[in-house]
Amino acid sequence: MIKVDDHIYKWLALATVGLGVLTSTLDGSIVNLAYPVLTEAFNTTPSTVLWVTVAYLLVSSSLALPLGTIGDIVGRKRLYILGFIVFTIGLGLSSISQTIGQLISFRILQGVGQAMLVATINALIVDAFPDKERGRALGINGALVGLGLSSGPFLGGIILDFLGWQALFWTRLPVSVIGLIIAIVILRPDVTQKEKKSYDFAGTLALIVGLSALLLLINRAPIEGLSPLVIILAVSSVVGLIAFPMIEAKTTVPILDLSLLKERLFTSSVTSSMLQFMAQGAFLFLISFYLLNALGLRPIEAGPVLMIVPMTRLICSPISGFLSDHFQSRTISTFGLSVMISGYFVLLTFTTESSMPHIITGLLLSGSGSAIFLPPNNSVVMGSVSRDKLGMASAIIPTARQVGISIGIALIGTIYSLSETANRLSLETQGLQDSQITQMATMSGYKDGLSVSIAFLILAIVISAYRGKDRDKM
């Protein structure tokens, strides 16, 4: 560990965890363009391929909250470093997958590592910065998220075209190793809570079972109907999600302090964030099929187009974070969601003949809206808890993100797959060319899925607008 004064350390710490942010966000965005490619490579369906991402996010979302509490107990630096190790191993194994089942399994391992990273990142940042600079620091972190997301599609497009899908994973191994070494050298050991000897294993199990069963239910129920599997999943999700708060209320060391949910600002901010990410997850799934199947772009051509959305974070997130230190976060966040939904309405007007300026307009609006929304919203979440619960709050932010994206992809991916398949079967009887069938079927699934995602954003706007004023700015 390098010894420097606090002023220098806070920026070194931000840069260090920023590399973790880039590593984890790049992992999600670099795979987005690969959905159609993986569908063909493994001779499977879109509803199966989406589990390359959903399984990854499912594990990450299920474990982030428990791991945030573990970070408070054993040390956030230790957990962050372990996360890098597990994530790196997952990258290597994913690159040598021979079946879709193997790829999904190794992505689950990546998800475990990613959960360790995201559960600690915000807490490490808040630990390093004074309260008055919290919004700015989180805004810069949001910009780094944008950089990771923006570089993913571009790099993914090039890699897919020239090196194949396996290279999406092995080419990132050196960066992951470098990030691990820097974290070991730079980050200060944080104060652990050695007096807490127990851990809430029962609550963790209930949360994992409840969330896993829920996402599987969303994916399988529309396809299988009232099958034995669907019934088991429905019962498991209900039991797990009901048991979780009951367990948390009785345990002495909960992974989620239920008293936080009584805080209107905290609960509303987390809920609106999850809804926003449900819409964003839907977009991430749908846009790749639109660009590759409906427009007929190559991955290397689609990559720069997909960069537009996350690139907006590089500009908007720091500005939004700075403003949130001086003005009501509710105003800024709600404005951001309003801009985002205007972009989604533009996305809904896309056709197979849409011009590039038309497409760019929709992407710019949706991306900048999300970038404006997140920093002030996250600042409220982190600012509403005591420092001994920073790990818990830090984990809640990515948990809301991962759960939201997971539900969005699982639900909208299923809607897309059902709509696309039904329309394809109908169109095949009309004597159309295969390319025409693919285009028209893709557009049907795209519009049906996007319409549902707009409903998520409407609800998020309502919740954000009525969540109340920031206490420190009243």
Alpha-carbon radius of gyration of the chain: 21
CA torsion sign, 418 to 421 to 426 to 432?
positive
The candidate with the shortest Cα–Cα distance to 464, out of 390, 378, 401, is: 378
Q: Higher confidence at residue 324 or residue 290?
A: 290
Contact 365, 343 (CB under 8 A): yes
Same domain, yes or no: 229 and 325: no
Provide the pLDDT for residue 471.
52
Contact 440, 314 (CB under 8 A): no
Alpha-carbon distances of 274 from 284, 383, 461, rounded to whole Å: 15, 18, 12
Arithmetic mean of pLDDT over the chain: 80
Provide the pLDDT for residue 396.
77
Stretch 182-190: mean pLDDT, rounded?
Answer: 79
Residue with tokens 């002495």: 252
Spatial neighbors of 116 by CB under 8 A, at least 6 apart, are 63, 67, 79, 80, 82, 83, 84, 86, 87
Residue 464 falls inside a structural domain: yes
Exposed, middle or buried, 388 (CB in 10 Å: 0-12/13-18/19+)?
Answer: exposed
Same domain, yes or no: 231 and 267: no
Same domain, yes or no: 246 and 357: no
Same domain, yes or no: 224 and 140: no
CA distance 24 to 319: 23
Of the residues 212, 229, 252, the one at which a domain ends: 252
- CA end-to-end span of the chain, whole Å? 41
Stretch 125-146: mean pLDDT, rounded?
Answer: 71
CA distance 37 to 135: 40
The candidate with the shortest Cα–Cα distance to 310, out of 351, 236, 356, 371, is: 371
The angle at the Cα of 154, spanning 151 to 156, to the nearest 5 degrees, equals: 100
Q: Higher confidence at residue 257 or residue 438?
A: 438
Q: Which two tokens stand for residue 279?
A: 């819409």
CATH number of the domain enclosing 381: 1.20.1250.20
Question: Amino acid identity of 390?
Answer: L
Host domain of residue 274: 6-199+253-473
pLDDT for residue 66 is more than 80:
no
Same domain, yes or no: 365 and 265: yes
Same domain, yes or no: 218 and 310: no
Same domain, yes or no: 98 and 141: yes
Same domain, yes or no: 148 and 205: no
Contact 15, 144 (CB under 8 A): no
Residue 344 falls inside a structural domain: yes
Same domain, yes or no: 281 and 428: yes
pLDDT for residue 90 is more than 60:
yes
Provide the pLDDT for residue 388.
63
Is 424 strand, coil or helix?
helix
Q: What is the pLDDT of residues 379-421, one digit of tens each?
A: 777 776 666 666 666 667 777 877 787 788 878 888 888 888 8
Q: Higher confidence at residue 294 or residue 141?
A: 294
Residue 383 falls inside a structural domain: yes
Provide the pLDDT for residue 474.
47
Residue 227 falls inside a structural domain: yes
Exposed, middle or buried, 185 (CB in 10 Å: 0-12/13-18/19+)?
Answer: exposed
pLDDT for residue 93 is more than 70:
yes
Contact 297, 291 (CB under 8 A): yes
Spatial neighbors of 126 by CB under 8 A, at least 6 apart, are 134, 137, 382, 390, 394
Of the residues 223, 252, 281, the one at which a domain ends: 252
Same domain, yes or no: 211 and 307: no
Provide the pLDDT for residue 455.
92
Lowest-pLDDT range of 190-199, 269-278, 349-358, 420-429? 190-199
Same domain, yes or no: 80 and 205: no
Residue 1 falls inside a structural domain: no
Is 312 strand, coil or helix?
helix
Same domain, yes or no: 265 and 345: yes
CA distance 41 to 19: 31
Provide the pLDDT for residue 192.
55
Domain count for the chain: 2
